[in-house]
């Protein structure tokens, strides 16, 4: 049966994506490469994990 919903493919892909646990990443392991952007609520940086070599976008939000 064909679904008429335009987002049906996206919903199926979202269910199939494996959840990744980012809780083991320590801030001291990250190298800040460059600022990607700044918005009203925070700044986004491109970071590199020293141990794994993985790249991450890290959003920094002020508590004030």
1-60, pLDDT tens digit by residue? 455 556 666 666 666 677 888 888 999 999 999 999 999 889 999 999 999 999 999 999
pTM of the full predicted structure? Answer: 0.65
Q: Which of 25, 48, 28 is nearest to 36 (CA)?
A: 48
Which pLDDT score is estimated for 62?
87
**Domains along the chain with CATH numbers:** 24-64 (3.30.200.20)
**Residues with Cβ < 8 Å from 54, sequence gap 6 or more?**
48
| DSSP secondary structure, 14-61, as one string | HHHSPP---TT--GGGEEEEEEEEE-SS-EEEEEEETTT--EEEEEE-
Average pLDDT of the chain? Answer: 84
55 and 48 Cβ atoms separated by less than 8 Å: yes
């Amino acid at each position: 049966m064909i679904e008429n919903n335009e987002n049906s493919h996206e919903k199926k892909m979202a269910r199939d994506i494996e959840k990744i646990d980012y809780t083991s990443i320590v801030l001291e392991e990250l190298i800040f490469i460059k600022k990607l952007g700044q918005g009203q609520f925070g700044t986004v940086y491109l970071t590199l994990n020293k141990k794994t070599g993985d790249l991450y976008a890290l959003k920094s939000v002020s508590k004030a």
